[in-house]
Each structure stands twice: as structure tokens, then as C-alpha cells.
Chains A and B, each alone.
Chain A
Amino acid sequence: MIRGTARPRSDWRGVVVPVICAAIWVAASASGRWNPHLLVPPRQLAGAFVESAKNADFWLAVSSSLLRLAVGWTIGSLAGVLLGIAIGASRLAERFAAPSLNSVRQVALFAWIPLLTAWFGDGDTAKTILIALAAFFPAALNTEIGCREAPASLIEVGRVFEFGYWARIRRIILPSARPSIVAGLQIALTSAWIGTIGAEYLIDQGAGLGVFLASARMDNRMDVVLVCIVALGLIGFVLSTLLRLSFVRGAFVRDAVLADD
């Protein structure tokens, strides 16, 4: 039994199951015994992709969602990182804020929607707040953990140098919390994307991929629903990959600068 060895990069065996499923799909739709509204024939699905790609409304929906995500994620993760630093760097701040933060976090994200729509209406404000909330908690928690786990030896060095609060945060805590903060921002992005789709789907007003998805379901268009799902899966994947790549490059640049010092 071999354990703990890295899996090879590409393995033809991974393709077998999808190919079998695709074959069953093609055969089942060709037989005509299944409801084509639920079991969409391959040709119709391909048609739906082309149709959506040509549809200006689809691209408007995608771009509105992305814009909303960008705004909500920026606000939420910025607030989360700042609060995370405050809580992670100071025991007193933690004792003030952590119990409240943890209690609020227990409420399922989308359970805020009824309250938010009652207060802010069905427009962009409620959705953006929900997206920001989705990004806020992962960013805050990961930052807090990262800051808390700054090595005690470094903190002591800081004490020897008589660093003040800000110098301690900037020169010791932040550099050692960096990987954790980056991880938090990534989780926040995924979470905010789910928040975006969910908020649009539940509130069902204005433009957005979630609204597009909801209306496709209302029209009983399984093919368009599938196109939307593939699109939002792809967008989520691309966004988190981009974020990871940009941070990896940023890390290299930073190390180079440090080496120059």
C-alpha cells in the first residue's frame, strides 16, 4: 500500500466516469423516453450556450454581478481585515469584540436578507451589504488568527526595541500574519461570490446572474439554468485563481524588495 505520495498530474482514469456519464446522457436523450425539459439533449444545451453568449442581457447580468461582488468584497474584506488586526493584536479588544462577533456569525448569512430588504429596500444597498457581510467574517477570522499567532520571540524582540502599538503591528504582526490574511481574502472572495448569487436569487430584483438564473428557472428552461451554473462555477474558479496568482506574484516582489534592503 503506498501512502502519502503525490498524485500524478494527469491521469487518464479520471476521464472515464465523465465519458460514461456523457454517453449515458447522449443515449438517454436520443431514446426520447425522458422529458427533454429536465434531461436537456446535448444539442439543445450547446444551443443554449451559443444563445446566451449572443444575449446582451446575459452579459449585462454577469457584469452587474461582478461589479456588485467587487464592491461588496472590497468593503467587507477591508472591514474584516481591520477588525481582525484590532482583535488579533490586542487581548483587550478581543475580549470586547469577540463574543459579539461570534454570536452574530452564528446566524446563517442569508437569514439577514428579510431584515436587510425591510431596511434598505430591494435595490443594490441591501445586496451589497449582504455580500460585504459574506466577505467580512472569513476575512476577520483569518486575520485574527494570523495576528494572534505571531511568534512570541518576535514580539519580545519588539519589546526590546521598545516598539509602540503601531510599530509592533506594522513590523511584526502584519508580516507574520500575511499568509493567513491572504487565505482569508481568498475564502472571503468565494464566500462573497456565493453571497452575490444568493442575494440576487433571493431578492430577485434588478440585473445579475442570480436574477437571470431565477428567471430561467421560472421559465422552466433547464438548459439556460445549466448555462448559468457553469458560468458562475467558472467565474468563481477564475476569480480565486487570479487572486491566488496575484498574491503569489506580490509575495515574490515583496521578497525581492526585502532582499534588496
Chain B
Amino acid sequence: MIRSVPFIHALISPGIVAQRVPAPQHRIFRRFQSIAIGAVIPLGVLALWSLAVALHLMRPQILPSPIAVWQAGIDLLRGGDLLAALAVSLQRVVLGLLIGGSLGMIAGIAMGRSRTIDAYLGPTVRTICQIPTIAWLPVFMLIFGIGEELKLAIIAKATFLPLLLNSFAGMRTAPQRFHEVADVLELDAWQRLRLVTIPAALPLIIAGLRLALSNAWHVLIVVEMLASAAGIGHLMAWSRTLFQLDVVFVTIAVIGVTGWSMDAAMRWIERQLTPWSVEA
């Protein structure tokens, strides 16, 4: 019935396409086949990588062998460094999201509900948000220094806009007819909120949360690379300084997997909370 903004949706989840549903016995085979076909390129890259290492095409400091990278990953896991760094980063994301996301949601709902508030605040907020988060980094570094406040402030900035825009759109998304029906049925404010406003707004707000999390993760890595003594971005930048490229490879993979997991978790929440909006 109600879908999220197509543009945002397209950014987050490409390739949602209605497919013919195959018979159950074929489904497992198809799934296996898809995995096998999809694995061709990664395996090819792995083979070329191993070959390049075996033929000494590049120095091992520049291109560590796949086995060395695997070993580095195991060592980092066993030593606890990796999980500790990841915990620091995730904690920053969650705290920053709580601050920036809730402020963005409050502002978005207020602007969405009231044309007057929108008329006063809208142009200013939209203009400020034209400037990418990365550009605010130096200003925030001058104001907040390079401590924990910097990370929270920059993540709050990164998560504020998606939640503002999406909760704003969520407030405006219910068709006029629904409100007319609510008028006819003489729903009170609470029923109207429960039956019309929330079902219409929730899919958009969750889509906003997904975008906010992804933005937060990207920008946090930058901040941690530039100015931090802990976290996964710091681990990566520090290993690069020491020219331990095997650790750099591991951290790149961890950053990717973490980003993917957060998005998958959000998609799961989306399915649980708003089953009416998820396409088949």
C-alpha cells in the first residue's frame, strides 16, 4: 500500500525485482546455482591474488598473501583487539544516532505536522543540509576538539537529516482521503494517530533510520581515521601507518561486513514492524 520514497529505497536496496516463484524442489537448486554463479568473480579475484603473490609480482608489504590476511584476522579476533575496536565504534554510532536521530525525528514531525513551523525552519534547515557532513568535520574539530564529543557531534549531524526528511515525508504521506475517512468515522486523536498517522509514517521513518545508520557508519570511519585513539577506523589507519597491510585488509572486510549487518538488521526490523509496506 504505502511504499517508501523510491529514490531512498533504490539507494539502499538495489535489485528488488518481482521474480517468478519456482517450485519448492527447484528453489534449493536455484539458490545453490545463484550462489555458485555469484561466487565466480570473488573466486577469480582470489585466484589472481594468490597467483600475483606466488609469482612475487608485488612486494609482500604491498600485497600480503590471502593466507597472511586470514591469519591476521584470526590473530586479531583471538587477541580481542578487533572486537574491542568494533565495540568502541558501534557504541559511538548508537549514541550519535540516539542524539541526532531523535532530534531529526522531532524536527521532522513538527515540520510535517505544522505548515507554520515548516515555513519558519524549513528553508534554513534545508540550506544547512546542502553542505555534506564531511565538510563540517573541520569546523567540529575546531569547536569540539578531537575527543569523544567530536564523534558524537558528527554522527548526530549525519543522522539528523535522513530522519528529519523521512519523518517529514511520513507526516505528509497519508492520502487526504484517509483523513477524510477518519473525519467521517469521527476518530479521536489517539485513534487517528494509531490507525492513520503511524501506519503511514512508520515505513518512511524506518527507511530514514536505515539511511542514517549507513551515513553514520561511513562518516565515523573517516573521523576515526583522522582523529581517534580507538575504534575500527583507528585500527585501520594505524595499521596502514605501520604498513601492516594484512590488518588493513581485515579491517576493510570488517567495515564492510558490519555495514551490511546493520543494514540487514534494519531490513529485518522493517519486515517485522511494517509488514504492510514490504514488497513481496
Contacts and interface: CB of A to CB of B under 8 A. Distances in A.
Interface of A: 1-4, 7, 11, 13-18, 21, 37-38, 92, 94-100, 102-104, 106-115, 117-119, 138, 141-142, 144-145, 148, 183, 187, 193-194, 197-198, 201-202, 213-214, 216-217, 220, 222, 225-226, 228-229, 232-233, 236-237
A210 B143 CA distance: 19
A187 B252 CA distance: 24
Given A103-B260, A111-B251, 5 more contacts: A98-B38, A118-B245, A197-B132, A197-B134, A217-B138
Given A1-B179, A198-B222, A107 B120 contact: no
Interface centre among B39, B135, B236, B248 (most CB of A within 10 A): B135
Contacts of B136: 229
Interface in B255-273: 255-257, 259-260, 263
A141 B225 contact: no
B218 A3 contact: no
A110 B221 contact: yes
Given A3-B179, A100-B41, A106 B256 contact: yes
B222 A110 contact: yes
Nearest to B143: A38
Contacts of A201: 134, 137-138, 226
Interface of B: 7, 10-11, 14-15, 17, 34, 37-42, 45, 62, 115-116, 118-124, 130-132, 134-139, 141-143, 172, 176, 179, 217-218, 221-222, 225-226, 233, 236-237, 239-240, 243, 245, 248-249, 251-253, 255-257, 259-260, 263
A108 B218 contact: yes
Contact of A96 (B38, B120, B218): B38
Given A4-B176, A17-B120, A109-B218, A202 B226 contact: yes
Given A232-B135, A236-B132, A115 B248 contact: yes
Contacts of A95: 34, 37-38
A54 B132 CA distance: 26
Contacts of A148: 15, 17
B131 A38 contact: no
Given A13-B119, A201-B137, A236 B130 contact: yes
B187 to A, nearest CB: 14
